[in-house]
Amino acid sequence: MTTNSEPSAIDQALLAFIRKQFLYDRTEVELTPESRLFQESIIDSVGILQLVGFVENTFGVTLRPDDLVLKNFETIAAVRTLVLNRL
């Protein structure tokens, strides 16, 4: 368990990463933990690789093959739940 595993800290880290990595030129998009990452075209098939890498490296978790489904990555809140389940 790392020191940054409080829900709000996880959210903050994910929000910051996604803003910097995917929304640098789309300042009009309001990103919240409930934003639909794929339906709003924030993340695509190349981006998901970066997100999975970020999650595994930053939070020190190893995701299982079954974890890599839409419902675990649909929103930042969903990713947070996944991270907490795997810590």
Partner 1 sequence: MKLLDQLLTNAASCFPDRPAVRFRGTELSYLELECLSNQVARTLKSLGLGQGDRVALYMDKSAVAVVVLYGILKLGASYVPIDPLAPARRASYILDNCRTDGLITTSEKLKSLDLSDNRFLKVVLLTEGEGEGTNRACQVPWAEVLRQESEPMERPGNAEDQAYILYTSGSTGFPKGVMISHRAALSFVDWAASEFGLTSVDRLSNHAPLHFDLSIFDIFAAASAGACTVLVPPDVSIFPLELSRFMEEERITVWYSVPSVLTRLVLHGQLESRKLDALRTILFAGEVFPVKFLRQLVQLLPGPEYYNLYGPTETNVCTFYPVERVPDDDSVTIPIGKQCAGCEVAVLDPERRRVTPGEEGELYVRGATLMSGYWGMPEKTREVMADVELEGKSNVYYRTGDVVKQLDDGNLLFLGRRDEMIKSRGYRIELGEIEAVLYAHPAVEIAAAVPVPDEQFGNLIKAVVVLKPGAVAGESGLKSHCLERLPRYMVPDVVEIRSSLPRTSSGKIDKKQLISGGFPQDQKKTSL
Residue 73: CB atoms within 10 A of its CB come to 19
In whole angstroms, what is the distance from residue 24 CA to residue 18 CA?
9
Q: Which of 8, 16, 26, 34 binds partner 1 (CB under 8 A)?
A: 26
Of the candidate spans 9-17, 21-29, 79-87, the one that interacts with partner 1 by CB under 8 A turns out to be 21-29
16 binds partner 1 (CB under 8 A): no
CB-based burial of residue 83 (10 Å sphere; 0-12 exposed, 13-18 middle, 19+ buried)? buried
7 binds partner 1 (CB under 8 A): no
46 binds partner 1 (CB under 8 A): yes
